[in-house]
Structure 1
Amino acid sequence: MSLLRAKIQDVFNEPACEQNRGKDAKARKKGCSKPLTPGAAAGGCAFDGAKIVLQPITDVAHLIHAPLACEGNSWDNRGAASSGPTLWRTSFTTDLTELDVVMGQGERKLFKAIREIKEAYGPPAIFVYPTCVTALIGDDIEAVCKRAAEKFGLPVVPVNAPGFVGSKNLGNKLAGEALLEHVIGTVEPDDAGPYDINILGEFNLSGEFWLVKPLLDWLGIRVRACIPGDARYFDIACAHRARAAMMVCSTALINLARKMEQRWDIPFFEGSFYGITDTSEALRQISQLLVKKGADPEILGRTEALIAEEEAIAWKKLAAYQPRLEGKRVLLNTGGVKSWSVVHALMEIGIEIVGTSVKKSTVEDKERIKQILKEDNHIFEQMAPRELYAMLSEHKADIMLSGGRTQFIALKAKTPWLDINQERQHPYAGYDGMVELVRQIDLAIHNPIWFQVREPAPWDCQPAVREELPRTKSETATLHAVQKFAGTTADDFGEC
């Protein structure tokens, strides 16, 4: 536990973070994550964060050393996609019971589970995740993993990120530390070249990295390792021989990028593949870093030629949507890198941003938003469901882009909604991804269902009363009495 505490303090002291460098020594030790409140929903624990970062490594067996519920709550929590192996889709757990805990059988059961996975599946590696229960009872995960690796002849990687140590973001960083300590640099590739790069913090949600990789392939740039999206264990083990790196989500793996630069001299930059301008700028910066590391400068010219061609194609496709979406108002309720990259992408085609959340965004992310929007009144840390509903029901936005947890607020307000978070079904990265994002927004806003649901319900309308014969005084009095009792007037009995 003391080693884990020291590792956490090291993660909190992040020199590559501008906000961290501005703190005094005491404040730096507290880190950026908010303290967890027992019994309150914290948006994910450290174990959840570590699993998010490592589970998309597709050919690895991910073994949860814990009671069954820990694995049940964390399995398949990202919509990452694989182009090959499917082992990561299989759920493995030691399924500790109360008797195992009381009798001290946890370590023995873990070793047995590792052996069974090795014999049944033969994976290139096994990642072992302790959770709150196994960490608190003192199971020596690292010793068991080391012994199992020697016994069975394959890497068994301990991922020390039990839930109680902190937030999901801390778990992201601890997962990066596990890769640095046990995986990266353990295999020497025999095909290293001057155009090899790493992509860090890219999860290949809905397969969206597959929209970007062909652009890099056309330029002759090889992705040595995409961590973690559609990754293979061998690729990550060889990642130390890349010449440059791009950081997609700095909140998650900035410590991994910085330490790889220190150990293996791999320069990195933070960029985004959301939107036409940001995708083009990312390609430029990748090429520039490679040239600085010794690649042929002719790649710069080829990059500009590719950008010009792809931008022309994308803008031609977007031209059909611009008249329909010009001036439409979007409320963005997400966080992290999407809080600024998607904002920039939408503003490129004339969409107005009425608000964007920055709940999970870094200080650098917030500064980018301010530069893009030119004002602060459209930025909010978090918005209560009641406030979201009020904003949407008052028609201050034409559509809300958010995660699945807030979709019902938009639906209750009879406002179009589009999933922009990890559960989404459509890829939005790169030039083609930008066109797809705009197409989905257009489909959502102009769906005829919204005109229908905003109309009064049939049972709130009454057909017009046709007078076949003139009423007598008593009939008229009776009708007025009924209307008074029902709280209506004669005017209410007409067409809707």
Structure 2
Amino acid sequence: MSLLRAKIQDVFNEPACEKNRGKDAKARKKGCSKPLTPGAAAGGCAFDGAKIVLQPITDVAHLIHAPLACEGNSWDNRGAASSGPTLWRTSFTTDLTELDVVMGQGERKLFKAIREIKEGYGPPAIFVYPTCVTALIGDDIEAVCKRAAEKFGLPVVPVNAPGFVGSKNLGNKLAGEALLEHVIGTVEPEEAGPYDINILGEFNLSGEFWLVKPLLDRLGIRVRACIPGDARYFDIACAHRARAAMMVCSTALINLARKMEQRWDIPFFEGSFYGITDTSEALRQISQLLVKKGADPEILGRTEALIAEEEAIAWKKLAAYRPRLEGKRVLLNTGGVKSWSVVHALMEIGIEIVGTSVKKSTVEDKERIKQILKDDNHIFEQMAPRELYAMLSEHKADIMLSGGRTQFIALKAKTPWLDINQERQHPYAGYDGMVELVRQIDLAIHNPIWCQVREPAPWDCQPAVREGLPRTKSETATLHAVQEFAGTTAGDLSEC
């Protein structure tokens, strides 16, 4: 536990974080997250954050050393996609019971589970995650993992991020520390070239990275490791031989990027693949960093040619949507890198941003939003569900982009909604992804269902009576049913 405390303090004291550098020594020790409420950490604890970062490593066996419910609450909580191995889709847990805890059988059961996975699946590595229960009873997973690695001849990586130590974001960073300590730099690649890069904080949600990788391939740039989206264990183990890196989500793995720069001289920048302008700028910065590290400067010209070609194609496709979407108002209830990158992307085609959340956004993210919107009134740290509903029901926005947790607020307000977070079904990165995002917004806003659901309910209306003619049996039955349901008489009902 003392080693874990030291890691946590190291993560809190993050030199690459502008917000952290602005604090005094006492405030820095507390970190950036609010304390967790006991019993209310599901979906937002450090263990959940570690699983989010590491589970998309597709050929690794992820073993949860805990009671069954811990794995049940965390398994497959992101829409990451794999182009090959499917082992990461298999759930492994030691399934500790009360008897195991009382009798001290946790470590023995963990060693047995590692052996069974090795014999039954033959993975290149096994990642072991303790949770609150096994951390509190004192199971030494690092010792067990070390012994198992020696016995079975494969890497067994302890990921020390039990839920009670802090927030999901802290778990993201502790996962990065586990990769640095046990994985990255442990294998030498067969070849390393001047055009090798790492992509950090990219999760390949709905296969988004597959829309970006072909652009890099056309430039002759090889992605040594995409961490963690569609990753392989040996690719990550060789990631220390990359020449440059791009950080997509700095709140998750800024510590990993900084320490890789310190240890292996891999410079990095923070960028985004959301939107046409930001995708183009990301490609430029990747090429510029590679040139600084010794690549042939001719790549700069090839990059500009590729950007010009792809932008022309994308803008031609978007031209069809501009008349239908220009002036439409969007409310963004998301966070992190999407809080500014999606804003910029939508404004490029004339969509108005009436508000964007900056929850989980860094200081740099917030500064970018201010530069884009030119108005702090459209920025909110967090909006209560009641306020979101009031804003939507008053028709201050034509559509809300958010995660699944707030979709029902929009639906209750009879407002179009589009999933922009990790559960989404469509990829929105790169040039083609931007076109897809705009297409989905257009489909949502102009879906004919909204005209229907906004109509008055049948029991709020009196059925139309044909002037000068008696009611038919059907009209009479309908009117009686409405009266009975509403508890009114015909005279109480108004015409609609």
Whether TM exceeds 0.5 here: the answer is: yes
Report if the CA contact (8 A) 2:328-2:351 is conserved: yes
Query: Given the superposition, is the C-alpha separation of residues 491 and 273 from structure 1 closer, same or farther in structure 2, using an over 3 Å criterion?
Result: farther
Residues 401 and 419, structure 2, Cα contact 8 Å, conserved in 1 = yes
Cα distance change of structure 1 residues 459 and 180 upon mapping to structure 2, 3 Å threshold = same
1:483: Cα distance to partner?
Answer: 10
Q: Distance in 2 between matches of 1:383 and 1:47?
A: 26
Report Cα offsets for 1:37-63 as digits up to 9, x if no partner: 223457510000000000000000000
Residue 492 of structure 1, CA deviation: 7.7
Output one character per residue of 1:249-284: Cα deviation in whole Å (capped at 9) or x when no partner.
000000000000000000000000000000000000
Alignment of 1:8-23 (within 5 A): 8-23=8-23
CA deviation profile, 1:310-342 (whole Å, cap 9, x unmatched): 000000000000000000000001111111110
Contact 1:276 1:345 in 2 (8 A): yes
1:20-39 alignment, distance < 5 Å: 20-39=20-39
* Alpha-carbon shift at residue 196 of structure 1 (Å): 0.1
**What's the offset of the Cα at 1:462?**
1.9
Superimposed CA distance per residue, residues 225-254 of structure 1 (whole angstroms, 9 cap, x where no aligned partner) = 000000000000000000000000000000
- In the other structure, the counterpart of 2:60 is 60
Counterpart residue number, 2:2: 2
C-alpha spacing 1:101/1:480, structure 2 compared with 1 (3 Å) = closer
TM-aligned CA deviation for residue 473 of structure 1: 25
Alpha-carbon spacing, 1:477–1:445, altered in 2? closer, same or farther (3 Å): closer
Count of aligned residue pairs for this structure pair: 496
Q: Distance in 2 between matches of 1:370 and 1:32?
A: 21
Unaligned runs of 5+ in 1: none
Deviation at residue 469 of structure 1 after TM alignment: 8.4
Deviations 1:103-128 (A, max 9, x none): 00000000000000000000000000
Residue 383 of structure 1 aligns to a residue in which SS? coil
Distance 1:453 1:75, change over 3 A: same
Rate the CA distance shift 1:280–1:151 in 2: closer, same or farther, 3 A.
same
Q: How does 1:61-210 map to 2 (within 5 A)?
A: 61-210=61-210
Residues 392-434 of structure 1, C-alpha deviation per residue, up to 9 Å, x if partnerless? 1110000000111111111111100000000000000000000
Moved more, 243-252 or 27-36: 27-36
Greater mean deviation of Cα atoms: 97-106 or 41-50? 41-50
Which residue is equivalent to 1:404? 404
Q: Distance in 2 between matches of 1:151 and 1:314?
A: 54
Cα distance change on mapping 1:481 and 1:411 into 2, 3 Å: closer
Measure the CA separation in 2 of the matches of 1:446 and 1:466. Answer: 33
Contact 1:462 1:492 in 2 (8 A): no
Give the drift of 1:481: 19
Contact 1:225–1:235 (CA<8 Å) still a contact in 2? yes
Between stretches 355-364 and 63-72, larger displacement belongs to: 355-364
1:485/1:269 Cα in 2 relative to 1: closer, same or farther (>3 Å)? closer
Which residue is 1:248 aligned to?
A: 248
Q: Deviations over 1:160-208 (max 9, x none)?
A: 0000000000000000000000000000112100000000000000000
> How has the CA–CA distance of structure 1 residues 224 and 462 changed in structure 2, closer, same or farther, with 3 Å as cutoff?
same
Task: Give the stretch that moved more between structures: 84-93 or 357-366.
Answer: 357-366
Cα pair 2:462 2:479 within 8 Å, conserved? no
SS in structure 1 of the partner of residue 386 of structure 2 = helix
* Structure 1 pair 471–260 and aligned structure 2 pair: CA distance change class (3 A): closer
- Residues 29-38 or 153-162, more deviating: 29-38
> What is the SS of the residue equivalent to 2:376?
coil
Distance 1:355 1:475 in 2: 47
Cα distance change, pair 30–486 in 1 and its aligned pair in 2 (3 A) = closer
Tell me the SS of whatever aligns to 2:370: helix
Distance in 1 between the 2:32 and 2:373 partners? 25
* 1:35 to partner: Cα distance: 1.3
Going from structure 1 to structure 2, the CA distance change for 1:110 and 1:292 (only over 3 Å counts) comes to: same
- Counterpart CA distance in 1 for 2:5 and 2:419 is 37
Q: 1:171 & 1:160 partners in 2: Cα distance?
A: 9
Cα deviations by residue, 1:64-123 (Å, 9 ceiling, x for unpaired): 000000000000000000000000000000000000000000000000000000000000
Pick closer, same or farther for the CA change 1:405–1:475 going to 2, 3 Å: closer
Contact 2:43 2:73 in 1 (8 A): no
Tell me the distance in 2 between the aligned counterparts of 1:472 and 1:94: 69
Deviations 1:362-410 (A, max 9, x none): 1111111111110111111111111111111110000000111111111
* Secondary structure of the structure 1 residue equivalent to 2:95: coil
Change (3 A) 1:463 1:240: same
8 A contact 1:463–1:494 mirrored in 2: no
Distance change (3 Å), C-alpha of 1:371 and 1:113: same
Name which of structure 1's ranges 32-41 and 121-130 shifts more when overlaid on structure 2. Answer: 32-41
8 Å contact 2:460–2:493 — kept in the other structure?
no
Contact 1:197 1:223 in 2 (8 A): yes
- SS at 1:64 equivalent: strand
- Indicate if the aligned counterparts of 2:202 and 2:227 stay in contact, CA closer than 8 A: yes
Query: Is the CA contact 1:248–1:337 (under 8 Å) kept in the aligned structure 2?
Result: yes
Query: Structure 1 pair 114/392, CA: closer, same or farther in 2 (3 Å)?
Result: same
Q: Give the share of equivalent positions with the same residue, in percent.
A: 97
Aligned partner of residue 212 in structure 1, secondary structure: helix
Structure 1 pair 470–273 and aligned structure 2 pair: CA distance change class (3 A): closer
Structure 2 unaligned regions, length at least 5: none
Q: Note closer, same or farther for the CA distance 1:102–1:394 as it changes in structure 2 (3 Å cut).
A: same
Q: TM-score, normalised on structure 2? A: 0.95
- Check 1:465–1:364 CA distance in 2 against 1; reply closer, same or farther (3 A cut): same
1:42–1:167 Cα contact (<8 Å) kept: no
**Alpha carbons of 1:43 and 1:489: their partners in 2 closer, same or farther (altered >3 Å)?**
same
Distance 1:76 1:479 in 2: 51
Q: 2-side partners of 1:484 and 1:120: how far apart?
A: 65
2:29 aligned counterpart, secondary structure: helix
* Aligned-partner SS, 1:273: coil
